[in-house]
């Protein structure tokens, strides 16, 4: 079966990976592969730390995808000989002061109710785990089961594996429109005017999906994020050995160390439509990060990245068929890296008509794009049932 995957971020590449495993002939279309939200992402595979009040349907998706990650990462690494920076050192979620500690206790209660194994520890215990933590840290939640990975290495590895022996499998063009015969999608129109036909199209274009003619109006919003990459002085490396997350004046912040000594500091969350990098956002990140880990004041800033995450009204992704020839997979918000194995496999199976009996109960309904259907979109979306 010939399948076009629109978008070469972590979701599009993961979808293409699973499609190839199922034996499909895959063409990937993206003008700038792996340069969108995936390029900015820190790479936390942390379902427990990502627990947010009111997002209960998201938890089983995150847990399932995290369980898929070791095998997924090992297969990609084996296929390419690439070190993906996968680590399993866990996470420490810190309270910047006593006022933040109450919010942290409430978060830990929500984690426990959702079945995640976490431990509330004192600030002193947290500093024994991570000596670089500030003396002001009032307490923490230790999550030994969380992992992390380097998204840039994962994307590079997937691109290498998918295009090995044939660069023509990747077309560096923008998709402007879905082609159709009135009943189903049959291909895509490229920015240079070329037409590509396929048996199935999977649209994984992130927030850019709203710019593709022929895709039904989906409630995707751009949530901009600013992320810094730091490098501590050689004499202070490693500054951290595991992911540090925290609340500083109730603002979330994280620091993710890489095996090579890099530290990713993030991330702001803005819906102001500004694609540039605000000085205030960077100031807050550095200030909040320093409150938790004072040693970053001596680190070098090696990279500042600003990208838009594709968000949905309920912060769950949209993965489903919109007509007999097209599947969409978007709206992952800040969970794209974590949900890549889940979304990649599910999107591939939907495109190929493979029975998906492994997702948790209710998962297909919770991610269906039909859950947002209005009178304006119902006619288009209902084509998938014809």
Q: Identify whether 289 is part of a domain.
A: yes
pLDDT tens for each residue of 107-158: 899 999 989 999 999 999 999 999 999 999 999 999 999 999 999 999 999 9
CA–CA separation, 293 vs 33, rounded Å?
34
How is residue 201 written in tokens? 């199209």
**What is the longest distance spanned by two Cα atoms in the chain?**
65
Using alpha carbons, select from 140, 107, 109 the residue that is nearest to residue 124.
Answer: 140
Whether residue 50 lies inside any domain: the answer is no
Per-residue model confidence (pLDDT) at position 374: 65
Q: Count the domains in the chain.
A: 2
Are 229 and 306 contained in the same domain?
A: yes
Q: Which of 294, 311, 328 is the last residue of a domain?
A: 311
Q: Per the domain annotation, does 61 fall within a domain?
A: no
Angle formed at CA 349 by CA 334 and CA 202, multiple of 5 degrees: 60
Indicate whether 300 pLDDT > 80.
yes
Domain membership of residue 124 (yes or no) is yes
Query: In the predicted model, is pLDDT for residue 41 greater than 70?
Result: yes
Long-range contacts of 179-185 (CB under 8 A, 24+ apart): 179/214, 180/214, 180/323, 180/325, 183/323, 183/324, 183/383, 183/386, 184/323, 184/324, 184/325, 184/326, 184/383, 185/214, 185/322, 185/323, 185/324, 185/325, 185/326
341 and 251 inside one domain: no
* 243 and 267 together in one domain: yes
Lowest mean pLDDT segment, chosen from 65-79, 154-168, 260-274, 332-346: 154-168
C-alpha span between 317 and 56 (Å, rounded): 14
Residue 55: band (very low, low, confident or very high) from pLDDT cuts 50, 70, 90: confident
Check residue 385 and give its pLDDT. Answer: 40
Where a domain ends, among 311, 332, 366?
A: 311
Beta strands in the chain (DSSP E): 2-6, 25-29, 44-45, 91-95, 119-122, 139-143, 147-148, 170-171, 175-180, 185-190, 195-197, 200-203, 221-231, 243-248, 251-257, 262-266, 300-311, 318-323, 326-330
Q: Are 264 and 43 in contact (CB under 8 A)?
A: yes
Q: What is the DSSP string of 131-154?
A: TTS-TT--EEEEETT-EE--HHHH
Statement to judge: residues 227 and 306 lie in one domain:
yes
Same domain, 139 and 227: yes
pLDDT at 386 over 70: no
Provide DSSP, 253-304: EEEEE-TTSEEEEE---B-S---S--HHHHHHHHHHHHHH-GGGGG-EEEEE
Mean pLDDT of the region 289-297: 97
Same domain, 198 and 160: yes
- The domain spanning residue 367 has which CATH number? 3.50.50.60
**Residue whose pair of structure tokens reads 């390029």 in the numeric block:** 39
What global pTM score does this model have?
0.94
Both 184 and 226 in a single domain? Answer: no
Domain of residue 241, residue span: 91-144+222-311
Q: Are residues 136 and 239 in the same domain?
A: yes
Work out the mean pLDDT of the chain and round it to a whole number: 94
In a domain, 77, yes or no: no
| Strand-pair partners of 318 | 330
Boundary-marking domain end, from 263, 296, 311: 311
The edge-to-edge listing of strands for the beta sheet with 175-180 is 175-180, 185-190, 195-197
Q: What is the pLDDT of residue 244?
A: 98
Q: How confident is the model at residue 263 (pLDDT cuts 50, 70, 90)?
A: very high
Q: How far apart are CA 331 and CA 41, in angstroms?
A: 15
Q: Give the mean pLDDT of 180-202.
A: 97
pLDDT on residue 242: 97
CATH number of the domain within which 115 lies: 3.30.9.10
Quick one: 117 and 262 in the same domain? yes
CB 224 within 8 Å of CB 270: yes
Identify whether residues 231 and 294 lie together within a single domain.
Answer: yes
Residue 64 belongs to a domain: no
Q: Indicate if 202 and 240 belong to the same structural domain.
A: no
Joined tokens for residue 84 = 């993906």
Do 377 and 330 fall into the same domain? yes
């Amino acid at each position: 079966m010939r399948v076009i995957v629109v978008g070469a971020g972590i979701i599009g590449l993961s979808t293409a990976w699973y499609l190839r495993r199922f034996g499909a002939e895959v063409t990937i279309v993206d003008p700038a592969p792996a340069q969108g939200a995936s390029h900015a992402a820190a790479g936390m595979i942390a379902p427990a730390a990502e627990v947010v009040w009111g997002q209960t349907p998201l938890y089983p998706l995150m847990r399932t995808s995290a369980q898929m990650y070791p095998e997924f990462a090992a297969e990609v690494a084996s296929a390419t000989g690439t070190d993906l920076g996968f680590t399993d050192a866990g996470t420490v979620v810190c309270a910047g002061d006593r006022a933040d500690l109450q919010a942290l206790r409430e978060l830990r209660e929500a984690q426990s109710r959702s079945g995640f194994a976490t431990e509330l520890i004192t600030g002193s215990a947290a500093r024994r785990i991570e000596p670089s933590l500030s003396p002001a840290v009032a307490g923490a939640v230790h999550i030994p089961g969380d992992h992390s990975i380097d998204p840039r290495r994962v994307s590079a590895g997937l691109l290498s594996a998918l295009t090995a022996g044939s660069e023509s499998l990747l077309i560096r063009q923008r998709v402007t429109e879905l082609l159709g015969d009135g009943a189903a999608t049959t291909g895509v129109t490229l920015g240079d005017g070329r037409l590509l036909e396929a048996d199935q199209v999977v649209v994984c274009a992130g927030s850019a999906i709203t710019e593709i003619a022929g895709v039904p109006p989906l409630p995707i919003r751009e949530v901009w994020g600013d992320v810094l990459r730091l490098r501590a002085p050689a004499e202070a490396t490693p500054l951290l050995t595991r992911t540090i997350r925290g609340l500083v004046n109730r603002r979330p912040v994280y620091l993710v160390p890489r095996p090579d000594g890099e530290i990713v500091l993030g991330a702001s969350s803005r819906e102001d439509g500004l694609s540039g990098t605000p000085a205030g956002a960077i100031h807050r990140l550095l200030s909040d990060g320093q409150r938790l880990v004072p040693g970053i004041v001596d680190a070098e800033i090696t990279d500042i990245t600003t990208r838009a995450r594709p968000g949905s009204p309920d912060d769950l992704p949209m993965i489903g068929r919109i007509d007999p020839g097209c599947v969409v997979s978007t709206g992952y918000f800040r969970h794209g890296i974590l949900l890549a194995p889940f979304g990649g496999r599910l999107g591939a199976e939907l495109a190929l008509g493979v029975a998906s009996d492994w997702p948790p109960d209710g998962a297909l309904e919770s991610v269906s794009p039909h859950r947002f259907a209005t009178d304006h979109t119902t006619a288009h979306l209902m084509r998938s049932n014809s």
